[in-house]
Structure 1
Amino acid sequence: QYVSTQVVNTMHQRYKITRVQVITDHADKVCDAVFSTVRHGITRIEVEGAFKHQPHTMLLITVNNYQLPEVINCIRKADEHAFMTLNAVEKIIGNYYQKPLE
């Protein structure tokens, strides 16, 4: 029963999607780390902090929840000071790569 529960849990996590929003001063390094971890695109937006008016880069990354811990870990390794927020995604319309089950 344990094995079947784990299989169902893994399958369920594949179809739950999260948007990771990252504010960083090391966008190229973070993008390279994410690209080497998962096969998803990243939207890159130049932003300015409201408090100190310093420039930063915001990265938007959409991943399934099964990939999420690995993506968070690679972002932290690339930029330990990155600020991240995570939001559940209800629906995706457009091009989103979902690795086929093996």
Structure 2
Amino acid sequence: MGDKPVLFDAYLQEDLAQQSDEYKKEFYKEVYMLKIACKVMNFRKELGLTQREFAQKTGVAQSTIADIENGNVDPRLSTLVKLGVNTGFAPDISYTVNKKKLTFA
């Protein structure tokens, strides 16, 4: 039990360092997809809407919203735009390159 605790981020970076480039690409793809899922869910909840109400307001099927929020689908950009535009918000897409944020809005 004398083991020193390891922070998850440190463990993850150490583990990823041992993986192939293809594995790392797939891993980060999943991380980003889950971030999108969380952003969609948080956006809907901030609007105070159920998935059904959100679907009615946006014109996107409730099952599609559920799939996006559960990370079960790779959402199309047009669907994400529709979620924002039909609720009166502009979608914001950004990339971070060498710690510089590039935003397309």
TM-score bin, normalised by smaller chain = under 0.3
| TM-score normalised to structure 2 length | 0.22
The structure whose residues are more often helix, as a share, is: 2
| TM-score normalised to structure 1 length | 0.22
